[in-house]
Homo-oligomer: A and B are copies of this chain.
Amino acid sequence: MLINLDFESNEPIYQQLVHQIIEGIARKEIAPGEGLPSVRSLASDIGINLHTVNKAYQQLKQDGFILIHRQKGVVVNPDGVPKADANYKKQLEKNLRPLIAESICRDVSEEEFLRLCSTIFETYQGGSA
């Protein structure tokens, strides 16, 4: 799985890392139970600070995406990621709302917006088919 960071983005690097790993899981490139590189090796591979990788891993663990065993190392949660709960959906709506509001202002129709979402969905589901 390829990690692709933008050091000039406003999005913090650890956050980008979190997203990329989640995308990898969504794309089924890394399956539940499968291992991830250690903090050290990933950090030196990408050329970033240990702390940064660690912070990303901690957040992924916090959100139930991965488990961190002292010995077995880092693995994708073998039970699968916790399903969306009411809280997650509230958060999701809160994140979508400003995107949709701006799209409306900029004359993006609902159809076009939904089509874009579908297209993005396909980029993940196509990978598993």
The residues of A with any CB-CB pair to B shorter than 8 Å are 7-9, 12-13, 19, 22-23, 25-27, 48, 62, 65, 67-72, 80-84, 88-89, 92-93, 95-108, 110, 113-114, 116-118, 120-121, 124-125
Contact = CB atoms under 8 A, between A and B. Distances in A.
The dominant DSSP class at the A interface is: helix
B92 A116 contact: yes
Count of chain copies: 4
A7 B101 CA distance: 21
Given A99-B95, A116-B89, A83 B106 contact: yes
Contacts of A26: 100-102, 104-105
10 contacts: A12-B70, A13-B70, A19-B98, A22-B98, A26-B100, A96-B116, A100-B121, A110-B117, A114-B118, A117-B117
Contacts of A102: 22, 26
Contact of A97 (B13, B23, B105): B23
A91 B92 CA distance: 18
A16 to B, nearest CB: 9
A105 B22 contact: yes
A48 B104 CA distance: 28
Nearest to A15: B98
B110 A118 contact: yes
